[in-house]
Structure 1
């Protein structure tokens, strides 16, 4: 633990200082409220305290991922990107507040004379942990190149099981269109990008042709939740392939990350495991899709068949696999630069000719 704490301190100083100050302030407010609970024993105050923030799960943090990856790749460094002149950052904007608490986005917006294409960025963490701050380097990189980049907070499995987090992503896309004039967003050119579990969620939202029932909750229902491009960074697109079931339905894990998200193993709720598999929806209406993968086949589950179906439907796709890479490669240099380059090139290509 002391080792992780020291690594965390170094990383925060380098990349996440401003963001972590905000988080620390929130935690201090939470601790103050807990102190009031202890002193006063008020059930009303208890309710306020635990509604302030989502349940905390630090299973996946940049510090822990760095410590693990550095053992095999000692030359890596945490990726960090500074915003260019003219890029504004608007933090902690509420996009949804009808689920018992407020959910937030951060917007990285470049100055421009005309509306710009936009990207919603979805963090990973096994559907149970992680933070939208993990996507800040990519969001900043894209904003520096003319995209409006939006990092999103969504409900994780310790707070609410599937499909709650998916419902949040649909609401976030609608919010982007509702606020297009505020942030100079071209509402006809919105992409969704996800990493790891966030990539599975992003691909699912993009692949489903019509909004599912769980997307009907939340504000701005008059706005479309359709996206014009998908970027999948090392996320599975099928929960029911043999390789996916080997890991996501592993009886040695109690529960596995997928089991915790779905509220049951594949044998218990197969309909949910199938419903959440983007591969089931791929056809000619699926948006152009970019895959960027690590060297670990576990996170390619369903990818090749997904691409084959896109090819058969005449839909553009790209696949890039980085050799000798850990799963969370997108967080670290030297791999971040290649990843960001491919993302930017793909989005520049497909969003320039997207349909509303």
Structure 2
């Protein structure tokens, strides 16, 4: 019996160490990507697991080499799982400086209703364990806004609990242009609606059946629908921001940087690709998604075969014109869209005189915000709230 308990203690230490390794280890294959994405975002739970394993072994009545092995594994697990917490203060300071550099050191004073913010601090440990409070909203699902080629396209609408007229956010999901839905990252849409925004979560036709620019055309159709029904859905069409994740970030940037049915006030891209030809030629290492296959399915070939497609689909090629303010949020450990690309886009936007902010999260992987209450998304949400409040403020108030 004692031997069985000893083995169980070792198993607990082994599990804690195995999961914690993914805080710093990139996924070599797609099947392991959820571990690499999720481990840093549940580091608080991993820390608790590793400490528990350490304490259980430390006070074990039986002393053996297995006990010392387990203790060693738990110590390594504790060190790995605490790394995001160690980096968090510096990351927050750098983000705050990036915001102040572009918006002004006193930019919070220009925000009319700061009391509507849900995030009063960049990170809250209680929220990390319990979850972030979303709030009450009104929700309308599955509104068809277009049916190109007979494919029904729908959007979901999230509104504050009280009737009114609100600034709007159009949310475009990711999924490699091949999957996803308006329900993806629904917690964000719910959260923002409860804090005074009308949020439209839209979708588009998927590759490879539909090649670019079909997806961009669908986003424009959604914007035209929103413009037509703005009064019905209580959206102020003069205060609209586009927000996209991954593939949706690329579409949000293209829609905001080109002629649009609506006057776009701001663009927010979470880990969106911005230079598709270079992304093809310089894939990440490791490459769990096989980005070349994804890009070929989306654009219909390689950069040598369809160079115009890659050029038209790359937001960086539009950075030399006057553009709406852009917020780029990216994980420094991203192994789908490498951090070098948003850095270059940020430089290009600034060189052209456009307002741009790049927020980097040192420990975060691609799609970090799928864990809504994780440390990465708490930081991103804190600054995204303030950017939106600043850029969508009513100038007449």
Q: TM-score, normalised by structure 1?
A: 0.70
Cα distance in 1 between the residues matched to 2:152 and 2:220? 15
Alignment equivalent of 2:299, drawn from 259, 262, 265 = 262
Structure 2 unaligned blocks of 5 or more:
1-29, 46-127
Q: Which has the higher contact order (CA 8 A, sep 6+)?
A: 2
Cα distance in 2 between the residues matched to 1:124 and 1:132? 10
Partner of 2:366: 327
Q: Residues 79 and 289 of structure 1: is their aligned pair in 2 closer, same or farther, counting only changes over 3 Å? A: farther
Larger Rg: 2
Say whether residues 1:347 and 2:393 are aligned partners. no
Q: Residues 92 and 79 of structure 1: is their aligned pair in 2 closer, same or farther, counting only changes over 3 Å? A: farther
Are 1:279 and 1:302, in contact at CA under 8 Å, matched by a contact in 2?
Answer: no
Q: Indicate the SS of the match to 2:272.
A: coil
Are 2:144 and 2:154, in contact at CA under 8 Å, matched by a contact in 1?
Answer: yes
Alignment equivalent of 1:119, drawn from 169, 176, 180 = 169
Are 1:94 and 1:104, in contact at CA under 8 Å, matched by a contact in 2?
Answer: yes
Q: Indicate the SS of the match to 1:107.
A: strand
Partner of 1:84: 135
Alignment equivalent of 1:197, drawn from 241, 247, 250 = 247
Q: Residues 254 and 305 of structure 1: is their aligned pair in 2 closer, same or farther, counting only changes over 3 Å? A: closer
Are 1:81 and 1:140, in contact at CA under 8 Å, matched by a contact in 2?
Answer: no
The Cα of 1:147 is off from its aligned counterpart by 0.8
Partner of 1:315: 354
Partner of 2:343: 304
The Cα of 1:96 is off from its aligned counterpart by 0.6
Say whether residues 1:238 and 2:281 are aligned partners. no
Cα distance in 2 between the residues matched to 1:74 and 1:320? 21
Cα distance in 2 between the residues matched to 1:344 and 1:254? 31
- How far does the alpha carbon of each residue in 1:82-126 deviate from its partner, in whole angstroms, 9 at most, with x for none? 6523x2000000111233121100000114564211011111111
Cα distance in 2 between the residues matched to 1:162 and 1:336? 30
Are 1:120 and 1:149, in contact at CA under 8 Å, matched by a contact in 2?
Answer: yes
Are 1:262 and 1:269, in contact at CA under 8 Å, matched by a contact in 2?
Answer: yes
- How far does the alpha carbon of each residue in 1:23-75 deviate from its partner, in whole angstroms, 9 at most, with x for none? xxxxxxxxxxxxxxxxxxxxxxxxxxxxxxxxxxxxx9xx9864453456653
Q: Indicate the SS of the match to 1:140.
A: helix
Say whether residues 1:69 and 2:37 are aligned partners. yes
The Cα of 1:80 is off from its aligned counterpart by 6.5
**How many equivalent residue pairs?**
278
RMSD: 3.0
Partner of 2:112: none
Are 1:141 and 1:340, in contact at CA under 8 Å, matched by a contact in 2?
Answer: no
Are 2:322 and 2:353, in contact at CA under 8 Å, matched by a contact in 1?
Answer: no
Q: Residues 78 and 123 of structure 1: is their aligned pair in 2 closer, same or farther, counting only changes over 3 Å? A: farther
Cα distance in 2 between the residues matched to 1:126 and 1:296? 18
Q: Residues 107 and 254 of structure 1: is their aligned pair in 2 closer, same or farther, counting only changes over 3 Å? A: closer
Cα distance in 2 between the residues matched to 1:339 and 1:188? 25
Q: Indicate the SS of the match to 2:346.
A: helix
Cα distance in 2 between the residues matched to 1:120 and 1:347? 12
- How far does the alpha carbon of each residue in 1:171-220 deviate from its partner, in whole angstroms, 9 at most, with x for none? 11111111111111001111110111111111111112x35xxxxxxxxx
Cα distance in 2 between the residues matched to 1:150 and 1:295? 29
Structure 1 unaligned blocks of 5 or more:
1-59, 212-223
